[in-house]
Structure 1
Amino acid sequence: MNEQINKPQVPPPNYLVFAILATLFCGKIFGIVAIVFAAQVNSHWNAGNYEAAKSASRNAKIWAWVSFAAGLAWIILFAMLSVFGVLAGIMQGAFN
């Protein structure tokens, strides 16, 4: 009975959709880590381990953002290399 009083009302967000989208479109490895943590949130919550659910939620969010940042970094790096490649071609006279 005492446990019912201390139980928080709302489970923490699991960020599963964000983790899946980050995996598909950004960093694969970091996104998989985010999916694993996101999948743990509800199971910890249903088991009554509320602190572990909060921790898994926090970790899922962090790793999803890391995956997003890694994907963004790759896009920026690819764009920069493409621009430098075009500029190098122009300087060499490859487009004449």
Structure 2
Amino acid sequence: MSYNAPPPPPSGPVGQTPPPNNLVWAILTTLFCCLPLGVVSIVYAAQVNGKFAAGDLAGAQDSSRKAKTWAIWSAVVGLVAIVLYVIFIVIVASNGDSTSTSL
């Protein structure tokens, strides 16, 4: 006697492709740009596939959009912080050379 397992449940809405989860960008911006904003992006990116598999296409698309938005903000904040840091270093270095005292 053979046992026939039931077919697996459908993953996602029929005929639909899952939206991009943007997980790679979320991880990269977390590591290299801005940690707090990148973590939020990872959280939303992790929700995309689960919502799609549950049949919530609108929720998956919303989480995908939010993951992308938070990754972009993380990259922007990280780049602004780097630029400000470089400007600060240049100002400190130029002031250090010009303020010599003579006896």
Q: How does 1:7-86 map to 2 (within 5 A)?
A: 7-86=14-93
What is the CA–CA distance in structure 2 between the aligned matches of 1:9 and 1:58, rounded to whole Å? 17
TM-score (structure 2 length as normaliser): 0.81
Cα deviation 1:63-84 (Å, max 9, x = unaligned): 0011111111110011000000
What is the CA–CA distance in structure 2 between the aligned matches of 1:93 and 1:12, rounded to whole Å? 61
CA RMSD of aligned residues (A): 1.4
**Number of paired residues?**
89
One-letter amino acid of the counterpart of residue 52, structure 1:
G
Structure 2: gaps of 5 or more residues: 1-12
One-letter amino acid of the counterpart of residue 81, structure 2:
W
Shift of 1:8: 4.6
One-letter amino acid of the counterpart of residue 65, structure 1:
I
Cα deviation 1:8-46 (Å, max 9, x = unaligned): 521100000110010011100000000000000000000
Partner SS for 2:36: helix
Runs of 4+ in structure 1 off by over 3 angstroms are none
What is the CA–CA distance in structure 2 between the aligned matches of 1:39 and 1:33, rounded to whole Å? 10
Say which one has the larger Rg: 2
Structure 1: gaps of 5 or more residues: 1-5
What is the CA–CA distance in structure 2 between the aligned matches of 1:8 and 1:37, rounded to whole Å? 24
Are the structure 2 counterparts of residues 88 and 50 from structure 1 closer, same or farther at C-alpha, using a change threshold of 3 Å?
same
What is the CA–CA distance in structure 1 between the aligned matches of 2:75 and 2:15, rounded to whole Å? 30
Higher percent of residues as helix = 1
